Amino acid sequence: MKISKDEYILRNFSKIQHKKWELYVITRIIHLLNDPELEFVCQQLVKTSDNKRYLTDLCFPELNLYCEIDELQHSSKEHSILDDKRMEEIVDATDFVEKRIKMYDEKYNYKKLEDINLEIDKLVKFIIERKQKYISEKKFVAWNYYHKYDPDIHIKTGYLDIKDNISFLYIRDALRCFGYKGGHFQKGIWNIKGTSQYLWFPKLYKNRDWNNSLSDDLKVIEMKKADNSDIGVIKEHQKNNIVFAHSQNQLGQTVYKFLGEFCISFEHSNNNKHIYFRKNTNVNIKNYHVI
């Protein structure tokens, strides 16, 4: 189901409707910015430079920036992610800048709104200046909501890179990056024509049949059955895979997140589990679209 941009924005705010301080700060930031070119996400799951997963309060993916609103009752809060969040789409925030706004003073009393507003103003100024810096360095790509999952964008650039946080709504769209011209595709594995490489669309969280997992640093995939039974010998299509993980985006839609190229480790795999190590974070797709 396609969701309009207006609905996307409103659903973002609805995720924090019961968190009064977050709601106040985040909506004020967005309204003061008043910038339709900037994508923002509330409660975005990220992987930080310390290889941990966190739910950030507000994320600006285009600017490599996320913000935390420190509430009094959460002054020592831990954003670490439990297993029930493992299926959510994750943004690699290794190179992101973190900004924080505290709702309380050094005596742990809530600040007045006028004081919080001053901090918000400083953050908004920082965001505007950061955008201008990205523009001057030709690093800024304006947000186009309706192109977010469009494979043609990546076909034109000629590559897929995990730093661009790429996802697709349909398996078919991932396949199109590699020359596929057919309709919808339902299988979890697809051979790239004329090569020994495969596209793989695994669920990297526990489900009825499998208990696959992705390491916190996003570099290792462990594949095993939910009942820990024999997984069988390594087959040809399991040796070298370009991985698009079955995930959920912030609105609960199924998406297929590009994680890079993974190769199986014969040394670390056995009859009960297969281990894959990430080989490349960037995949060249130009050769699949020669005119």
- At 65-85, the pLDDT tens digits run 999 998 876 544 444 444 455
Residues 195 and 232 in one domain: yes
The pLDDT of residue 159 is above 70: yes
- Position 74 scores a pLDDT of 55
Q: What is the mean pLDDT of residues 10-38?
A: 94
Indicate whether 290 pLDDT > 70: no
pLDDT of residue 289: 72
Look at residues 111, 136, 161 and tell me which one is the last residue of a structural domain.
136
Residue 45's DSSP bridge partners are 55
Q: Do 174 and 268 share a domain, yes or no?
A: yes
Percent over 70 (pLDDT), the chain? 92
Residue where the block lists tokens 């040809």: 236
Check residues 47 and 9 and name the one with the higher pLDDT: 9
Question: Do 160 and 74 fall within a single domain?
Answer: no
pLDDT score for 77: 45
Query: How many other C-beta atoms are found inside a 10 Å radius of the C-beta of residue 138?
Result: 7
Q: What gap in Å lies between CA 168 and CA 170, rounded to an integer?
A: 6
Residues 43 and 82 in one domain: yes
Higher pLDDT: 243 or 1? It is 243
Residue 256: pLDDT band (50, 70, 90) is very high
Answer yes or no: do 156 and 283 share one domain: yes
Please give the Cα distance from 62 to 135 (Å, whole number): 11
Q: What is the mean pLDDT of the chain?
A: 88
Rounded average pLDDT over 120-130: 98
Gap between the Cα atoms of 81 and 78, Å rounded: 9
Residue-range definition of the domain harbouring residue 22 = 5-136
Cα–Cα dist 42/59, whole Å? 6
Domain-terminating residue out of 101, 136, 171: 136
In a domain, 258, yes or no: yes
* 118 in any annotated domain: yes
> Does residue 143 sit within a domain?
no
Same domain, 160 and 65: no
- Over residues 240-249, the mean pLDDT reads 92
Q: Which residue has the higher pLDDT, 108 or 214?
A: 214
Lowest mean pLDDT among 37-41, 89-93, 262-266: 89-93
Among 136, 170, 200, the domain boundary falls at: 136
pLDDT digits (tens, 9 = 90+) for 160-207: 999 888 999 999 999 999 999 999 999 999 999 888 899 999 999 888
Torsion angles phi and psi, residue 46, rounded to 5: -130, 160
42 lies in the same domain as 163: no
pLDDT at 132: 98
The answer to whether residue 232 is domain-embedded is yes
Same domain, 93 and 214: no
pLDDT of residue 73: 62
* Confidence (pLDDT) at 176: 96
* pLDDT over 90 at 248, yes or no: no
Calpha distance 148→36 (Å, rounded): 14
Highest mean pLDDT among 5-19, 26-40, 83-97, 225-239: 26-40
146-60-175 Cα angle (round to 5): 45
**Quick one: pLDDT at residue 207?**
86
217 is a domain residue? yes
Query: How many domains does one find in the chain?
Result: 2
Could you tell me if 13 and 130 lie in one domain?
Answer: yes
- 20 and 70 in a single domain? The answer is yes
Across 145-169, average pLDDT: 92
Is residue 141 one of the residues assigned to a domain? Answer: no
pLDDT digits (tens, 9 = 90+) for 81-112: 444 555 666 787 778 999 999 998 888 888 99
